[in-house]
Chain A
Amino acid sequence: MPVILKRALIVFLFLLMLTFFIVPERLFEFPSSSPILWLLVMFLYPVLSAYPQELLYRTFIFERYKKAITSPFRLGLFSTFSFMFLHIIYGNFLAPVLPLGGGILFTNTYKKTNSLMAVAIELAIYGCIVFTIGLGRFFYEMAHSNTLPK
Protein backbone atom coordinates (compact mmCIF):
# COMPACT_ATOMS: atom_id res chain seq x y z
CA MET A 1 0.00 0.00 0.00
CA PRO A 2 2.72 2.58 0.75
CA VAL A 3 4.00 1.96 -2.80
CA ILE A 4 0.59 2.96 -4.18
CA LEU A 5 0.57 6.11 -2.03
CA LYS A 6 4.11 7.08 -3.04
CA ARG A 7 3.19 6.59 -6.68
CA ALA A 8 0.03 8.65 -6.16
CA LEU A 9 2.14 11.55 -4.88
CA ILE A 10 4.30 11.43 -8.01
CA VAL A 11 1.18 11.22 -10.22
CA PHE A 12 -0.34 14.18 -8.35
CA LEU A 13 2.74 16.32 -8.98
CA PHE A 14 2.83 15.27 -12.64
CA LEU A 15 -0.87 16.06 -13.16
CA LEU A 16 -0.48 19.35 -11.30
CA MET A 17 2.25 20.41 -13.72
CA LEU A 18 0.25 19.15 -16.70
CA THR A 19 -2.82 21.16 -15.67
CA PHE A 20 -0.68 24.19 -15.02
CA PHE A 21 0.76 24.04 -18.53
CA ILE A 22 -2.28 23.06 -20.63
CA VAL A 23 -5.33 24.47 -18.78
CA PRO A 24 -4.03 26.76 -16.00
CA GLU A 25 -7.41 28.51 -15.74
CA ARG A 26 -8.97 25.22 -14.59
CA LEU A 27 -6.54 24.48 -11.76
CA PHE A 28 -8.70 23.29 -8.80
CA GLU A 29 -11.72 24.77 -10.56
CA PHE A 30 -14.10 21.93 -9.65
CA PRO A 31 -13.74 21.95 -5.83
CA SER A 32 -13.74 25.74 -5.71
CA SER A 33 -16.75 26.29 -8.00
CA SER A 34 -18.98 23.35 -6.90
CA PRO A 35 -17.72 22.00 -3.55
CA ILE A 36 -20.83 19.89 -2.80
CA LEU A 37 -20.83 18.21 -6.21
CA TRP A 38 -17.07 17.72 -5.92
CA LEU A 39 -17.50 15.98 -2.54
CA LEU A 40 -20.20 13.77 -4.04
CA VAL A 41 -17.90 12.81 -6.92
CA MET A 42 -15.07 12.05 -4.46
CA PHE A 43 -17.35 9.57 -2.63
CA LEU A 44 -19.19 8.08 -5.60
CA TYR A 45 -16.41 7.84 -8.21
CA PRO A 46 -14.46 5.11 -6.34
CA VAL A 47 -17.56 2.96 -5.84
CA LEU A 48 -19.54 3.53 -9.02
CA SER A 49 -16.74 3.99 -11.52
CA ALA A 50 -13.27 2.94 -10.35
CA TYR A 51 -14.21 -0.46 -8.92
CA PRO A 52 -16.39 -1.54 -11.90
CA GLN A 53 -13.71 -0.36 -14.37
CA GLU A 54 -11.02 -2.39 -12.66
CA LEU A 55 -13.37 -5.36 -12.34
CA LEU A 56 -13.75 -5.28 -16.14
CA TYR A 57 -10.31 -4.22 -17.31
CA ARG A 58 -8.15 -6.15 -14.88
CA THR A 59 -9.93 -9.02 -13.11
CA PHE A 60 -12.32 -9.97 -15.91
CA ILE A 61 -9.75 -9.67 -18.71
CA PHE A 62 -7.08 -11.53 -16.77
CA GLU A 63 -9.44 -14.32 -15.71
CA ARG A 64 -11.49 -14.81 -18.86
CA TYR A 65 -8.95 -14.31 -21.62
CA LYS A 66 -5.97 -16.12 -20.12
CA LYS A 67 -7.07 -19.16 -22.15
CA ALA A 68 -6.97 -17.19 -25.40
CA ILE A 69 -3.95 -14.98 -24.66
CA THR A 70 -1.59 -17.31 -22.87
CA SER A 71 1.40 -14.96 -22.53
CA PRO A 72 1.02 -12.87 -19.33
CA PHE A 73 2.88 -10.02 -21.04
CA ARG A 74 0.45 -9.96 -23.99
CA LEU A 75 -2.52 -10.27 -21.67
CA GLY A 76 -1.18 -7.26 -19.75
CA LEU A 77 -0.78 -5.36 -23.02
CA PHE A 78 -4.34 -6.22 -24.04
CA SER A 79 -5.64 -5.07 -20.66
CA THR A 80 -3.65 -1.81 -20.76
CA PHE A 81 -4.50 -0.89 -24.35
CA SER A 82 -8.17 -1.84 -23.97
CA PHE A 83 -8.37 0.47 -20.96
CA MET A 84 -6.74 3.23 -22.98
CA PHE A 85 -8.96 2.56 -25.98
CA LEU A 86 -12.17 2.91 -23.95
CA HIS A 87 -11.31 6.55 -23.41
CA ILE A 88 -11.43 7.44 -27.12
CA ILE A 89 -15.15 7.98 -26.56
CA TYR A 90 -14.38 11.36 -24.98
CA GLY A 91 -12.96 12.58 -28.28
CA ASN A 92 -9.97 14.54 -27.01
CA PHE A 93 -6.28 13.69 -27.13
CA LEU A 94 -5.69 13.64 -23.37
CA ALA A 95 -8.46 11.17 -22.48
CA PRO A 96 -6.71 8.11 -23.99
CA VAL A 97 -3.14 9.25 -23.22
CA LEU A 98 -3.45 9.51 -19.42
CA PRO A 99 -5.22 6.11 -19.09
CA LEU A 100 -2.38 4.55 -21.09
CA GLY A 101 0.04 5.58 -18.35
CA GLY A 102 -2.49 4.62 -15.67
CA GLY A 103 -3.22 1.32 -17.37
CA ILE A 104 0.46 0.36 -17.32
CA LEU A 105 0.59 1.09 -13.58
CA PHE A 106 -2.69 -0.72 -12.79
CA THR A 107 -1.77 -3.78 -14.85
CA ASN A 108 1.60 -3.88 -13.13
CA THR A 109 -0.03 -3.63 -9.69
CA TYR A 110 -2.61 -6.29 -10.57
CA LYS A 111 0.03 -8.69 -11.87
CA LYS A 112 2.06 -8.29 -8.68
CA THR A 113 -0.79 -8.39 -6.16
CA ASN A 114 -3.70 -10.11 -7.91
CA SER A 115 -5.86 -7.77 -5.82
CA LEU A 116 -8.82 -6.03 -7.41
CA MET A 117 -9.22 -3.78 -4.39
CA ALA A 118 -5.62 -2.54 -4.67
CA VAL A 119 -6.02 -1.49 -8.33
CA ALA A 120 -9.51 -0.08 -7.71
CA ILE A 121 -8.12 2.09 -4.90
CA GLU A 122 -5.24 3.16 -7.12
CA LEU A 123 -7.62 4.16 -9.94
CA ALA A 124 -9.91 5.87 -7.43
CA ILE A 125 -7.01 7.96 -6.11
CA TYR A 126 -5.85 8.96 -9.61
CA GLY A 127 -9.42 9.63 -10.74
CA CYS A 128 -10.12 11.84 -7.75
CA ILE A 129 -6.84 13.71 -8.39
CA VAL A 130 -7.83 14.24 -12.05
CA PHE A 131 -11.27 15.62 -11.11
CA THR A 132 -9.91 17.77 -8.29
CA ILE A 133 -6.97 19.21 -10.13
CA GLY A 134 -8.98 20.46 -13.11
CA LEU A 135 -8.64 17.77 -15.77
CA GLY A 136 -12.07 16.24 -15.13
CA ARG A 137 -13.67 17.76 -18.19
CA PHE A 138 -11.46 15.68 -20.42
CA PHE A 139 -13.11 12.59 -18.93
CA TYR A 140 -16.80 13.26 -18.95
CA GLU A 141 -17.63 15.35 -21.97
CA MET A 142 -18.48 13.12 -24.91
CA ALA A 143 -17.29 14.76 -28.08
CA HIS A 144 -16.17 14.11 -31.61
CA SER A 145 -13.78 17.00 -31.79
CA ASN A 146 -10.03 16.55 -31.46
CA THR A 147 -9.64 19.87 -29.72
CA LEU A 148 -9.62 20.69 -26.04
CA PRO A 149 -13.07 20.65 -24.41
CA LYS A 150 -14.41 24.15 -23.77
Chain B
Amino acid sequence: MKTILLKIYLLLEAFTVFWGLPVYVYFFPDNIKKIPTLLGITILAFLILVFNKKYKLKNLISFDGVK
Protein backbone atom coordinates (compact mmCIF):
# COMPACT_ATOMS: atom_id res chain seq x y z
CA MET B 1 0.00 0.00 0.00
CA LYS B 2 2.78 2.38 1.00
CA THR B 3 4.64 1.60 -2.23
CA ILE B 4 1.57 2.26 -4.36
CA LEU B 5 0.93 5.57 -2.61
CA LEU B 6 4.58 6.54 -3.11
CA LYS B 7 4.33 5.68 -6.80
CA ILE B 8 1.15 7.74 -7.18
CA TYR B 9 2.74 10.66 -5.34
CA LEU B 10 5.89 10.51 -7.48
CA LEU B 11 3.89 10.34 -10.72
CA LEU B 12 1.75 13.29 -9.65
CA GLU B 13 4.87 15.25 -8.73
CA ALA B 14 6.60 14.36 -12.01
CA PHE B 15 3.67 15.35 -14.23
CA THR B 16 2.93 18.52 -12.23
CA VAL B 17 6.49 19.80 -12.37
CA PHE B 18 7.54 18.66 -15.84
CA TRP B 19 4.23 18.95 -17.73
CA GLY B 20 1.96 21.16 -15.64
CA LEU B 21 4.42 23.97 -15.10
CA PRO B 22 5.27 24.49 -18.81
CA VAL B 23 1.54 24.58 -19.63
CA TYR B 24 1.02 27.21 -16.92
CA VAL B 25 3.96 29.27 -18.19
CA TYR B 26 2.66 28.98 -21.75
CA PHE B 27 -0.80 30.30 -20.90
CA PHE B 28 0.17 32.76 -18.15
CA PRO B 29 3.70 33.87 -19.02
CA ASP B 30 3.38 37.09 -17.02
CA ASN B 31 2.19 35.42 -13.82
CA ILE B 32 5.44 33.67 -13.09
CA LYS B 33 9.03 34.84 -12.71
CA LYS B 34 10.74 32.33 -14.95
CA ILE B 35 14.39 32.59 -13.92
CA PRO B 36 13.78 32.44 -10.12
CA THR B 37 11.31 29.56 -10.65
CA LEU B 38 13.74 27.56 -12.77
CA LEU B 39 16.58 28.36 -10.36
CA GLY B 40 14.42 27.27 -7.42
CA ILE B 41 13.44 23.98 -9.07
CA THR B 42 17.06 23.27 -10.03
CA ILE B 43 18.32 23.97 -6.49
CA LEU B 44 15.54 21.79 -5.05
CA ALA B 45 16.42 18.95 -7.45
CA PHE B 46 20.10 19.33 -6.54
CA LEU B 47 19.30 19.17 -2.82
CA ILE B 48 17.09 16.10 -3.30
CA LEU B 49 20.00 14.40 -5.08
CA VAL B 50 22.46 15.48 -2.36
CA PHE B 51 20.25 14.04 0.39
CA ASN B 52 19.58 10.84 -1.53
CA LYS B 53 21.99 8.44 0.13
CA LYS B 54 21.89 6.02 -2.78
CA TYR B 55 23.02 8.66 -5.29
CA LYS B 56 26.77 8.98 -5.66
CA LEU B 57 27.55 12.69 -5.72
CA LYS B 58 30.71 12.16 -7.74
CA ASN B 59 28.37 11.33 -10.65
CA LEU B 60 27.51 15.03 -10.85
CA ILE B 61 30.97 15.80 -12.19
CA SER B 62 32.41 12.49 -13.30
CA PHE B 63 32.95 11.16 -16.82
CA ASP B 64 32.87 7.52 -15.73
CA GLY B 65 31.29 5.41 -18.41
CA VAL B 66 32.15 7.84 -21.21
CA LYS B 67 34.12 6.19 -23.98
Q: List chain A positions with a Cβ less than 8 A from chain B.
A: 1, 3, 52, 55-57, 59-61, 63-65, 67-69, 78, 82, 85-89, 91, 112-118, 142, 144
Contact assessment for B14 and A65 in the assembled complex, using a CB-CB cutoff below 8 Å: yes
Q: Whole-angstrom distance between the alpha carbons of A115 and B60 in the complex?
A: 7
Asked if B59 and A89 sit within 8 Å, CB to CB, the answer is no
Residue contact A68 to B66, C-beta cutoff 8 Å: no
Q: Report how far A15 CA is from B60 CA in the complex, Å.
A: 29
In the assembled complex, the Cα of A55 lies from the Cα of B42 at a distance in Å of: 8
In-complex Cβ contact of A115 among B10, B38, B45, B63 (8 A)? B63
Contact sample, A vs B, 6 pairs, CB 8 Å cutoff: A55-B45, A67-B7, A113-B65, A113-B66, A142-B34, A144-B29
A89 to B19, CA, bound (A): 11
**B18 partner residues in chain A, CB cutoff 8 A:** 57, 61, 78, 82, 85-86
Q: Does B33 contact A (CB under 8 A)?
A: no
Residue in A63, A69, A82 whose CB lies within 8 Å of B55: A63
In the complex, chain B residues 23-67 whose Cβ is within 8 Å of any chain A Cβ: 23, 25-26, 29, 34, 38-39, 41-42, 45-46, 48-49, 52, 55, 59-67
Complex CA distance for A1 and B52, rounded to whole angstroms: 28
Q: Residues of B contacting A82 with CB < 8 Å? A: 14, 18-19
Chain B residue nearest to A118 in the complex (CB): B66
Select one of A60, A65, A78, A87 contacting B49, CB under 8 A.
Answer: A60
| Chain A residues, CB < 8 A from B45 | 55-56, 60, 64
A82 to B45, CA, bound (A): 15
Residues of A within 8 A of B59 (CB): 59, 114-116
**Residues of B close to A116: CB separation below 8 A:** 59-61
